[in-house]
């Protein structure tokens, strides 16, 4: 198998599909397109019926990387109708899409450690790699298995890998803004292992980044804004979020910032800027310039969806509905943005909206992320303005179904909307 960033297909490694896009296009359209979404686009992203208005963010749903991953998965099934096909985890974080693949006979491999359990895979089988990518250890296992590998890793993720690999090559510790348990972040972090001394540390948010900044400032003899953790406490705090052998007394001297591509863009940028400023306070601007690097590696689709939500929120809205998997990081980021300004309901699927009972089951947008229900949910009379958006792994038919259910609760037959 070629290197993980290769784009040259061989008999056992495929990264550009099988040339079957036209053959699976009708199936994809039937599974994932939505009439009401097409209608919203045609009407400047707004549908108004009586007192009810639904506005759709201008960038939403499937991005190019997700479309490509799903397309390649369907092509793989068409190419190998008789072979066993496995998928390393979930193709994307959307329950509807993953269930469709299960119905097609794709077997989902279970997580194991920082990767997946490939024990069931035989040389004659096919393994699909998800849009998030997999670790370099996963690649090595699959190379040893000798099976066909269909790699759908998103190009934006590959760009981050190149940054992290360069950091490790040049002796910088990769400080990654992300979720240490997320498939993409695990795959990204593993890139440092291409170099024996490569190190990484994952921070979830600005609060965790501040712990890093306080520690490195204290280490340099400065006076950080907050009391720093002891070395033992620091290692305990980041035990599952750091590379093997990570030592804060050694590996915070040179830092390169990267991020999981689906995080909140403004927070990633703020973390990068703040860490650079902390290094300058600790050891001077010249030291910072020589020993600190940062790049904005948020993918353009994530940024576009966040920008579109910010634009939509300038409109007068009574509430926002955000559709996407509860484990979808980019969807969570969208919901967090919306919740800052208007009551927001993050639903995994339109089925969470109960038309007959005027209820909704949703995920709370707080640090606990508990699921909750509300009934009654929508007022059934009077003016109502609802905004809607969806994560990059949410198909159009699910967005349209959510719109239809909102109108139905309001007494409008969605089949009559033309």
Q: Is the pLDDT of residue 207 over 50?
A: yes
* 65-153 matches 156-294 in fold: no
Give me the chain's average pLDDT, please.
93
pLDDT bin (cut points 50, 70, 90) of residue 199 is: very high
Class of the 65-153 domain? Answer: alpha beta
Topology of domain 25-62+301-416, CATH: Cobalt-precorrin-4 Transmethylase; domain 1 (3.40.1010)
Q: Is the pLDDT of residue 272 over 70?
A: yes
- With a pLDDT cut of 70, the percent of the chain lying above it is 97
**pTM for the whole structure:** 0.89
- The per-residue pLDDT for 6 is 40
Q: What is the mean pLDDT of residues 270-289?
A: 97
Q: pLDDT tens digits, residue range 68-87?
A: 999 999 999 999 999 999 99
User: Does the annotation mark 184 as catalytic?
Assistant: yes
Domain ranges of the chain: 25-62+301-416, 65-153, 156-294
The domain 156-294 is placed in CATH, from the list 1.10.286.10, 3.40.1010.20, 3.50.50.60, 3.40.50.300, at 3.40.1010.20
Active-site residue, from 184, 193, 267, 352: 184
Q: pLDDT tens digits, residue range 235-252?
A: 999 999 999 999 999 999
Q: pLDDT tens digits, residue range 32-72?
A: 888 999 999 999 999 999 999 999 999 998 999 999 999 99
Per-residue H/E/C for the chain: CCCCCCCCCCCCEECCCCCCHHHHHHHHHHHHCCHHHHHHHHCCCEEEECCEEEEECCCCCCCHHHHHHHHHHHHHHHHCCCCCEEEECCCCCCHHHHHHHHHCCCEEECEECCEECCCCCCCCCEEEECCCCCCHHHHHHHHHHCCEEEECCCHHHHHHHHHHHHHHHCCCEEEEECCCCCHHHHHHHHHHHHCCCCCEEEECCHHHHHHHHHHHHHHCCCCCCCCCCCHHHHHHHCCCCECCCCCHHHHCCCEEEEECCCCCHHHHHHHHHHHHHHHHHHHCHHHHHHHEEECCCCCHHHHHHHHHHHHHCCCCCCEEEEECCCCCHHHHHHHHHHHCCCCEEEECCHHHEECCCCEEEEECCCCCCCEEEECCCCCCCCCEEEEEEECCCCCHHHHHHHHHHHHHHCCCCHHHCC
């Amino acid at each position: 198998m070629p290197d993980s960033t290769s784009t040259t297909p061989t008999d056992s490694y495929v990264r550009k599909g099988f040339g079957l896009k036209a053959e699976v296009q009708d199936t994809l359209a039937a599974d994932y397109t939505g009439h009401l979404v097409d209608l919203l686009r045609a009407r400047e992203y707004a549908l108004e019926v009586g007192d009810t208005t639904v506005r759709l963010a201008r960038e939403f749903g499937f991005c190019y990387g997700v479309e490509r991953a799903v397309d390649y998965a369907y092509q793989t099934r068409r190419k190998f109708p008789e072979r066993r096909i496995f998928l390393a985890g979930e193709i994307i974080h959307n329950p509807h899409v993953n269930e469709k693949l299960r119905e097609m006979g794709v077997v989902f491999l279970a997580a194991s450690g920082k990767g997946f359990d490939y024990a069931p895979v035989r040389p004659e089988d096919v393994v699909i790699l998800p849009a998030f990518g997999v670790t370099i250890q996963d690649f090595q296992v699959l190379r040893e298995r000798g099976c066909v590998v269909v790699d759908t890793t998103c190009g934006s993720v590959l760009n981050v890998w190149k940054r992290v690999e360069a950091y490790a090559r040049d002796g910088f510790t990769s400080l990654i803004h992300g979720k240490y348990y997320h498939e993409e972040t695990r795959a990204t972090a593993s890139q440092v292992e291409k170099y024996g001394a490569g190190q990484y540390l994952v921070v979830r948010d600005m609060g965790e980044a501040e712990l890093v900044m306080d520690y490195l400032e204290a280490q340099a003899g400065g006076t950080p804004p907050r009391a720093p953790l002891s070395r033992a406490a620091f290692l305990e705090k980041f035990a599952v979020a750091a590379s093997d052998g990570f030592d804060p007394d050694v590996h915070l001297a040179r830092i390169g910032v990267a991020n999981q591509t689906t995080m909140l863009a403004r927070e990633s940028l703020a973390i990068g800027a703040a860490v650079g400023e902390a290094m300058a306070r600790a050891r001077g601007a010249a030291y910072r310039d020589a020993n600190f690097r940062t790049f904005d590696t948020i993918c353009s689709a994530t940024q576009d969806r966040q920008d579109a939500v910010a634009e939509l929120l300038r409109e007068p809205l009574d509430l926002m509905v955000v559709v996407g998997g509860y484990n979808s990081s980019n969807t969570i980021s969208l919901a967090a943005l919306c919740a800052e300004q208007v009551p927001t309901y993050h639903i995994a699927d339109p089925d969470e909206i109960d038309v007959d009972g005027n209820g909704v089951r949703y995920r709370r947008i707080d640090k606990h992320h508990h699921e909750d229900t509300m009934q009654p949910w929508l007022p059934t009379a009077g003016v109502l303005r609802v905004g809607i958006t969806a994560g990059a792994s949410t198909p159009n038919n699910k967005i349209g179904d959510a719109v239809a259910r909102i109108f139905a609760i309001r007494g409008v037959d969605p089949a009559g909307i033309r």
